[in-house]
Amino acid sequence: MLSITTSWDDGDVLDIKLASLLDRYGIKGTFYISQNYRENRLTDDAVRALSQRHEIGAHTLTHPNLPKVSHEQKVREVVGSKQWLEGVIGKEVPMFCYPIGRLDAETEKVVRDAKFCGARTTVQGNIRPVNNAYQLPTTLHVYPMPFRKSGPYTYVWTRLLDPVIERGQMFRDLGVPWFAFRSWGALARSTFDIAHRNGLVFHLWGHSWEIEKFGMWNELESVLKYIGNRSDCRYVTNSDLI
């Protein structure tokens, strides 16, 4: 049976809107929250309320590039984020997410030593379980396709086709046809169909503020409706995958 999970980074106030969409289609989410990163971060009360419906994960205190900071700062950021969130929601925070997906051996060890049960990366194109719970990959990022955009109706004309160039091969390796790259929604549905037939995991991830920036709410809801409320799938949090 296919396990479907989603995860959402940074803790922007728009996570409330995102959580409501997940609830509508019976999909669970893990929300990775940084204390001091987004200007419009969820309030502590909102984090508590969200934790009653979805999983809360740690995402450091200030969202640094962890491999670039000292060991002492790594510990402060990782351990401090766990302690802060557990104080807010009054229960265990089992999962961690590496800011901007960056990690090294030292960073992973700090996360393990902080007693998280696992940690998510930003690696895409995966539909199979992995052995290392501290390098949990994903299947697909919610991000415009096929063109690089700067807003809902504007494009970055330099390196315009970067989304296809950077991600195309990993999805082609799964068997996604080229015509599915015509839009993010088409890519998501095609990838899901392949995971449904041949995989064990479908893991969607992104940022609510980025969905807003690129005007992707309707497209995302269409995909959530497509993958949600299926009797032959199980809907789980990130820690449920571990």
The β-bridge partners of 29 are 6
Helix (H) or strand (E) holding 164: helix 162-174
Q: Tell me what the mean pLDDT of segment 79-90 comes to.
A: 98
Q: What is the residue whose two structure tokens read 């989410």?
A: 29
Q: 15-24 vs 44-51: helix axis angle to the nearest 10? A: 10
pLDDT of res. 18 = 98
Q: Could you give the domains of the chain? A: 2-241 (3.20.20.370)
36-67 pLDDT per residue, tens: 999 999 999 999 999 999 999 999 999 999 99
Please name the residues in contact with 122: beta carbons below 8 A apart, sequence gap of 6 or more: 98, 100, 101, 138, 141, 205
- Reported pTM: 0.97
Q: Give CA–CA dist 154/80, Å, rounded.
A: 39
Pairing of strands 118-120, 201-206: unpaired
* Structure token digits, residue 20: 């409501």
126-157 pLDDT per residue, tens: 999 989 999 999 999 999 999 999 999 999 99
pLDDT of res. 239 = 98
The β-bridge partners of 234 are 3
Q: Which of 89, 101, 97, 127 is nearest to 114 (CA)?
A: 97
Q: Given a cut of 90, is residue 199 above it in pLDDT?
A: no
Q: In a 3-state reduction of DSSP, which class is residue 6?
A: strand
pLDDT of res. 93 = 98
Q: Give CA–CA dist 23/28, Å, rounded.
A: 7
Q: Given a cut of 90, is residue 22 above it in pLDDT?
A: yes
